[in-house]
Amino acid sequence: MQKLSFKRASQADIDGILKVMQRVGYLDFRFPNQQKDKIKKQLISELKDRTILVCCSRKKVIGYSIFGPAEKFLKCPIKISKKDHAFSLGIGIDPDYQRKSIGKKLVDYSKKIATKQGFKGAYGDIASNNRASLKIQKSAGFIKIAEYDDAKRPKGIKNILVFKKFI
């Protein structure tokens, strides 16, 4: 496998992030029926209020991780401490690069950056049928703390809330 690089995303990385989002089906979930140019503008604007990281192989974006303050972004019915915690807003790995531990490396890099930003832990919520993401989070040390219904999900699919405390 080629050498991987991890960095904070810039405006120049947005097209690559969009390609990965498209390939993993996230565009249809998060941005249903929206034009790509509108989605691109929104992602560019989001560079200001959340952290977007990318994993690249030969300067090509092959994965992304997005997180922000849990106080601002985590909407769940479970009573939890959100202060000083991050919330994962999404992670995606190009299908051509999956099952190569890139997702875990990206989660580990996200933890490193979140710790530098002062976060003491992180939450994520994952669809109960998203086995790949659940596996990545578990391998990165996240534990399941709750399960709940979410109107964004199809009937029968729950949100799994996971958490990892940073040392």
| CATH number of residue 17's parent domain | 3.40.630.30
Beta-strand pair 60-69/85-93 = antiparallel
pLDDT of residue 1: 55
What pLDDT score was predicted for residue 75? 87
pLDDT at 153: 82
pLDDT at position 105 is 93
Residues 16-54: b if buried by 16+ CB within 10 A, e if exposed: bbbbbbebbebbeeebeeeeeeebeeebeebeeebbbbb
Beta strand spans in the chain (E): 4-8, 51-57, 60-69, 85-93, 121-127, 143-148, 159-165
Closest CA to 162 of 85, 105, 109: 85
Torsion sign (Cα): 148, 102, 104, 41: negative
Long-range contacts, stretch 152-156, CB < 8 angstroms, 24+ apart: 152/29, 153/127
State both tokens at 21: 């989002």
Residues in the chain, total:
167
- pLDDT (tens place) for every residue of the chain, 167 residues total: 569 999 999 999 999 999 999 999 888 878 888 898 999 999 999 888 899 999 999 999 999 999 999 999 998 888 888 899 999 988 999 999 998 989 999 999 999 999 999 999 999 999 899 888 888 888 889 999 999 988 878 888 999 999 999 97
Only one residue has tokens 């960095």, namely 7
Query: If phi over 0 gives left and psi between -120 and 50 gives alpha, with beta otherwise, what is residue 84?
Result: left
**Which residues sit opposite 68 in a β-bridge?**
87
| Structural domain for 39, as ranges | 4-165
At 77 the pLDDT is 87
Number of domains in the chain: 1
